A and B are shown apart, each in its own frame.
Chain A
Amino acid sequence: MKCVFVTVGTSFNELNERMSAQESLCIFKSLGYSRPTLQIGRGTVVPEPFSTEFFTLDVYRYKDSLQEDLQRPDLVISHAGAGSCLETLEKGKALVVVINEKLMNNHQLELAKQLHKEGHFFYCTCSMLPGLLQSMELSTLKCYPPGQPEKFSAFLDKVVGLQK
């Protein structure tokens, strides 16, 4: 049983709607994702959670931390916010980033575009998402190496004159 976690951040109705539409649920089923979880923020489109023998749709607005929900899934579908993109990549999860076309000039897109250019996740708009889900090859994604804060501390120790 594979899990997929969808996170929209504060509000992204178009994605809520697209993800809970019959078309998407069918795609999830056909790909073997039988446990989709949607984090919908304060969106006004509120999908109805349901559970059958072979399929469970969970829906919630917010949690203090997404850590737990990012631990489980085999695939994460996220808005372009830097925090959730980086957290997902650090956990080594396959990621699809969905761009909100209404926020095209947001500076957070700088990071998403760069990480996409480096091949760490797939990147699309809401309308392209169903097509992408069916055609994407997760094995082509490049893993995301951890950052190196030790380089920062070494630099700082040197410039402030710290004696070892």
Chain B
Amino acid sequence: MACVLILAAAAAAVGVVLVLRLWIVFRCQDVTPRESLSLLVVAGSGGHTTEILRLLGSLSSAYSPRHYVIADTDKMSANKINSFELDRAERDPSTTHNKYYIHRIPRSREVQQSWLSTVLTTLHSMWLSFPLIHQVKPDLVLCNGPGTCVPICVSALLLGILGIKKVIIVYVESICRVETLSLSGKILIHLSDYFIVQWPTLKEKYPKSVYLGRIV
């Protein structure tokens, strides 16, 4: 009996600590001044990759090194990323800031996959995402959907909860979303530090979001 009580108390204590940590991670938005930061970008395939590369095109070389995560079934994104980085290196040949890496993880949801198997594949992606995030320990995670970015962002959040590193999570909803959020948007609006939308209708519906006009 005493044993059970002790276990329950220990579990409760761990629970309280985790909730506290979560609260601290969410509240902590103090800006540490810095000269450069490592960036992890989730390239979501197809139009998502095109959009996020346009955003990256505007970032200065302080965002270095750049780690790209792509779904292992995605054939096109690696090519797009390589040609984007090549282009960047040609424009700015001061080589020190041109480091980039491409990582592959399983896609968490193929189009039209059933919900139950989505849950299983997401857990599987989670299992593989956390070690990747833990290894890279990026300062900033940038993503714009679809599914692949959810386990990555959850892992990044977990890094903060465990007190290993506070990772800033920025989600940019696709230009295609005018009135409704995407599925990954609906999840990540709760987990991201900054959630950017590109149409005023979405800003009205989700006051917590950031609207900067059309940015792609």
CB contacts (< 8 Å) of B50 on chain A: these are 83
**Are B194 and A161 touching (Cβ within 8 A)?**
no
- For the complex, is A82 an interface residue (Cβ under 8 Å from B)? yes
Mask of B147-181 contacts with A, CB within 8 angstroms, 1/0: 00000000000000000000010101011111110
**Are A107 and B177 touching (Cβ within 8 A)?**
yes
Q: Which of A66-95 contact B (CB under 8 A)?
A: 82-83, 86
- For the complex, is B215 an interface residue (Cβ under 8 Å from A)? yes
**Are A152 and B172 touching (Cβ within 8 A)?**
yes
Interface size range of chain B in the complex: 35 or more
Q: Which of A13-21, A49-57, A109-117, A123-131 binds B?
A: A109-117
Given the interface contacts A149-B54, A149-B57, does A161 sit within 8 Å of B175 by beta carbon?
no
- For the complex, is B58 an interface residue (Cβ under 8 Å from A)? yes
B180 partner, pick from A82, A107, A151, A155, beta carbons under 8 A: A107
- Tally A-B pairs: CB < 8 A: 89
> In whole angstroms, how far apart are the Cα atoms of A152 and B57 in the complex?
11
- For the complex, is B90 an interface residue (Cβ under 8 Å from A)? no
**Are A160 and B175 touching (Cβ within 8 A)?**
no
- For the complex, is B32 an interface residue (Cβ under 8 Å from A)? yes
Q: Which of A110-164 contact B (CB under 8 A)?
A: 110-111, 113-114, 147-153, 155-163
**Are B212 and A162 touching (Cβ within 8 A)?**
no
**Are A151 and B212 touching (Cβ within 8 A)?**
yes
Given the interface contacts A148-B213, A152-B196, does A160 sit within 8 Å of B180 by beta carbon?
no
- For the complex, is A108 an interface residue (Cβ under 8 Å from B)? yes
Mask of B185-209 contacts with A, CB within 8 angstroms, 1/0: 0000000011010010000000000
- For the complex, is B132 an interface residue (Cβ under 8 Å from A)? no
**Are A111 and B176 touching (Cβ within 8 A)?**
yes
CB contacts (< 8 Å) of B194 on chain A: these are 155, 159
**Are B213 and A161 touching (Cβ within 8 A)?**
no
**Are B58 and A110 touching (Cβ within 8 A)?**
no
Main secondary structure, interface of A, reads helix
Given the interface contacts A82-B47, A148-B214, does A153 sit within 8 Å of B59 by beta carbon?
yes
CB within 8 Å of A: which residues of B? Answer: 31-37, 46-47, 50, 54-55, 57-60, 62, 139-140, 168, 170, 172, 174-180, 182, 193-194, 196, 199, 210, 212-216
Told that A110-B177, A148-B215, A157-B60 touch, could you supply 20 new A-B pairs with CB distance under 8 A?
A: A107-B176, A107-B177, A107-B182, A108-B176, A114-B199, A148-B212, A148-B214, A149-B215, A151-B212, A151-B215, A152-B58, A155-B210, A159-B170, A159-B193, A160-B31, A160-B34, A160-B140, A161-B31, A162-B37, A163-B34
CB within 8 Å of B: which residues of A? Answer: 82-83, 86, 107-108, 110-111, 113-114, 147-153, 155-163
26 pairs across A/B with beta carbons < 8 Å? A82-B174, A82-B176, A83-B46, A83-B47, A107-B177, A110-B176, A114-B178, A114-B199, A147-B175, A147-B213, A147-B215, A148-B213, A152-B58, A152-B172, A152-B215, A153-B55, A153-B58, A153-B60, A157-B62, A159-B170, A160-B31, A161-B33, A162-B34, A162-B60, A162-B62, A163-B33
